[in-house]
């Protein structure tokens, strides 16, 4: 038993060392830098945090990030779950594996960000594909990238890119449920909605936590498309925290960037821990 314990630790040790060297130690240095001035290196206490929390660009980025999360997460989770449930029901009815179709779901994640940006420009340019359709319908063209509509371009980009991946995760959970449970429920007179709420949701409950956390973390990666489309200073509804950090890095405002990074890491950690606590409480 003791030997098997050390064997397991020996397999974990290289990975832990890699995380420590490339993630934990650099982040500890970021925490240290958040309490000192960038130029002199003199300790300044919470001054950097005070400056960041009163920075108008930081407040705008936080507002946009919260708005983006509140809109995108429910849409992504709801749409992907409904589509996954319909595909799973179709698969059970016709006894087909749909392996090729499942692989096609992941195509958006495989497309390089630079190629994706060209697609967005073709679609959402003032003379692009979307405005062409609006013109045929008798609707005036929309300047998507320079008005408040830019926010919805960002939402569309996030959902389109992550929908297939999230559907595959839902399908993995749905496929793990035994068909016998649905057959027994149907024999007892339970309808589709009753089966969904009494069988499906309780059994995929552990998976929901994982999918919510992954979708939450993936929402911070939408910056690449926004940056490549609109640059350092996009329309203000598209201005995200990553834009702010990138601009601070360009200006060598290391102290503000460090303080902002610590605040962001703290918020993400608290969100994940609260979500985990909520899941454990309701089990």
Nearest of 241, 251, 234, 90 to residue 153 by alpha carbon: 234
DSSP string covering 47-85, please?
Answer: HHHHHHHT-HHHHHHHHHHHHHHHHHHHHHHHHHHHHHH
Comparison of pLDDT for 283 and 202, the residue scoring more: 202
For residue 75, the model assigns a pLDDT of 92
Within a domain: residue 278?
yes
User: What percentage of the chain reaches a pLDDT higher than 70?
Assistant: 90
Three-state secondary structure call for residue 272: helix
The alpha carbon of residue 71 and the mean position of all alpha carbons in its chain are separated, in whole angstroms, by 12
Look at the chain and report how many structural domains it folds into: 1
Within a domain: residue 50?
no
In this structure, what token pair is assigned to residue 148? 């408040």
Within a domain: residue 248?
yes
Within a domain: residue 34?
no
The average pLDDT across 55-70 equals: 89
Q: Which residues contact 237 (CB under 8 A, 6 or more apart)?
A: 64, 148, 150, 151
Within a domain: residue 132?
yes
Q: Compute the distance between CA of residue 78 and CA of residue 162 in angstroms, rounded to an integer.
A: 13
Within a domain: residue 249?
yes
Yes or no: say if 131 and 141 are a contact pair by the CB < 8 Å rule. Answer: yes
Confidence of residue 124 (pLDDT cuts 50, 70, 90): confident
Yes or no: say if 144 and 130 are a contact pair by the CB < 8 Å rule. Answer: yes
Answer positive or negative: Cα dihedral of 107, 113, 117, 120.
Answer: positive
Nearest of 32, 51, 230, 44 to residue 145 by alpha carbon: 230
DSSP code for 237 = G
* Average per-residue pLDDT for the chain: 81
Average the pLDDT over each of 21-35, 93-107, 181-195 and give the range with the smallest value. Answer: 93-107
Three-state secondary structure call for residue 36: strand
Beta bridge partners of 43: 36
Q: Compute the distance between CA of residue 266 and CA of residue 45 in angstroms, rounded to an integer.
A: 18
Comparison of pLDDT for 66 and 108, the residue scoring more: 66
CATH number for position 194: 1.10.3720.10
Nearest of 238, 211, 235 to residue 222 by alpha carbon: 238
Q: In which domain, by residue range, is 72 found? A: 56-282
Within a domain: residue 254?
yes
Within a domain: residue 10?
no
């Amino acid at each position: 038993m003791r030997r098997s314990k050390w064997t397991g630790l020996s397999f974990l040790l290289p990975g832990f060392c890699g995380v420590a060297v490339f993630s934990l130690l650099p982040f500890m240095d970021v925490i240290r830098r958040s309490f000192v001035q960038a130029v002199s290196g003199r300790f300044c206490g919470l001054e950097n945090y005070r400056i960041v929390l009163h920075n108008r660009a930081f407040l705008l980025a936080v507002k946009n990030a919260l708005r983006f999360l509140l809109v995108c997460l429910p849409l992504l989770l709801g749409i992907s779950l409904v589509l996954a449930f319909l595909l799973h029901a179709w698969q059970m009815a016709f006894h087909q594996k749909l392996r090729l179709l499942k692989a096609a779901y992941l195509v958006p994640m495989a497309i390089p960000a630079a190629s994706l940006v060209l697609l967005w420009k073709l679609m959402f340019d003032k003379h692009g594909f979307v405005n062409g359709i609006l013109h045929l319908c008798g609707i005036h063209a929309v300047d998507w990238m320079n008005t408040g509509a830019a926010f919805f371009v960002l939402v569309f980009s996030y959902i389109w890119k992550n929908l297939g991946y999230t559907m595959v995760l839902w399908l993995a959970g749905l496929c793990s449920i035994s068909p016998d449970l649905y057959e027994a429920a149907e024999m007892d007179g339970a309808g589709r909605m009753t089966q969904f709420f009494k069988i499906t949701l309780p059994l995929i409950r552990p998976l929901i936590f994982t999918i919510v956390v992954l979708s939450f973390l993936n929402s911070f990666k939408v910056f690449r498309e926004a940056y490549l489309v609109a640059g350092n200073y996009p329309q203000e509804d598209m201005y995200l925290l990553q834009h702010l950090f990138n601009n601070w890095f360009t200006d060598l405002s290391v102290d503000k960037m460090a303080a902002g990074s610590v605040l962001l890491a703290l918020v993400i950690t608290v969100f994940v821990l609260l979500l985990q606590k909520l899941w454990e409480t309701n089990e």
